[in-house]
């Protein structure tokens, strides 16, 4: 089965310095190792006329998402900082050509590329991602990036809920693993929701 075609979108989740660089504010173990794997997928996607979209965690300097402001996370991906930039080894032509969906800029927990959740009121608001995909007649979504147990999972679950046939590329993603086993639990949760768990090594 061919992974990409014109009705498929590759969604590259939060491949940003704060997650992917070992010096990042919320460095994900092995995060930088997936960059070449993701670049290979980007090339396959572009060669098959699939859409490519990048998401970016994009927080204000103070947000209830951060531990210092009452949340659970170290400061990361503050809008406009080095940490919020895409990793420098991400395919530059693709990064320049593809849309960027930024989430969290009003202080929301932007785990999913599709929806943001106000951590105080619990209210959710959509991002522009679904509209972008519908506009491009996308029916299938392939998700990769950081982190498997947070933003990748939330994005894949939302994609499936919205009716896209959805797959996650497990080896082109890495988990935060606040608790050991979080990656496997995330995979189980995604597959239970109908998301395919794929490896980039399968063709
Ligand atoms: C993420 C924790 C906090 C992610 C974002 O991109 O998976 N994780 N903010
Ligand atoms: Zn965040």
Residue of minimum CA distance from atom 2 in ligand 1: 150
Q: Domains in the chain: how many in total? A: 1
Residue 109: predicted pLDDT:
84
Residue 25 is assigned to a structural domain of this protein? yes
Residue 203 is assigned to a structural domain of this protein? no
Residue positions annotated with a catalytic role: 14, 103, 151
Q: 190 φ, ψ to 5°?
A: -65, -45
Bridge-based pairing state of the strands 115-117 and 124-126: antiparallel
Residue 165 is assigned to a structural domain of this protein? yes
pLDDT averaged over consecutive 10-residue blocks of the chain (203 residues)? 90 98 98 98 97 97 94 96 98 96 90 90 93 98 98 98 98 97 98 98 82
Residue 125 is assigned to a structural domain of this protein? yes
Residue 50 is assigned to a structural domain of this protein? yes
Helix intervals (H) in 55-152: 92-97, 129-135
Q: Please indicate whether residue 164, judged by its CB atom, sits closer than 6 Å to ligand 1.
A: no
Residues comprising the chain, all counted:
203
Q: Which domain holds residue 126?
A: 8-198
Q: Please indicate whether residue 28, judged by its CB atom, sits closer than 6 Å to ligand 1.
A: no
Q: What is the CATH number of the domain that holds 116?
A: 3.40.50.850
CA–CA separation, 127 and 77 (whole Å): 17
Cα of 99 vs centre of ligand 1, distance in Å, is: 19
pTM summary value: 0.97
Residue 1 is assigned to a structural domain of this protein? no
Residue 190 is assigned to a structural domain of this protein? yes
For residue 55, the surrounding DSSP H or E stretch is strand 51-57
Residues, CB within 5 angstroms of ligand 2 (ion): 57
């Amino acid at each position: 089965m061919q992974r990409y075609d014109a009705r498929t979108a590759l969604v590259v989740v939060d491949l940003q310095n704060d997650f992917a660089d070992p010096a990042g504010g919320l460095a994900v173990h092995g995060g930088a190792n997936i960059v070449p794997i993701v670049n290979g997928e980007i090339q396959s996607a572009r060669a098959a006329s699939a859409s490519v979209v990048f998401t970016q965690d994009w927080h204000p300097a103070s947000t209830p998402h951060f531990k210092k402001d009452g949340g659970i996370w170290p400061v990361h991906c503050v809008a406009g900082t080095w940490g919020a930039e895409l990793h420098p080894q991400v395919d530059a032509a693709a990064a320049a050509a593809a849309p960027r969906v930024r989430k969290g800029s009003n202080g929301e927990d932007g785990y999913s590329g599709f929806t943001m959740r106000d951590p105080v009121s619990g209210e959710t608001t959509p991002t522009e991602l679904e509209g972008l995909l519908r506009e491009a007649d996308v029916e299938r979504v392939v998700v990769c990036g950081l982190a498997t147990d947070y933003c990748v999972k939330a994005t894949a679950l939302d994609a499936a809920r919205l009716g896209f046939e959805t797959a996650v590329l497990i080896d082109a993603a890495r988990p935060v693993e606040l608790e050991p086993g979080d990656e496997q639990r995330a995979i189980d949760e995604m597959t239970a929701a109908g998301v395919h768990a794929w490896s980039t090594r399968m063709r």
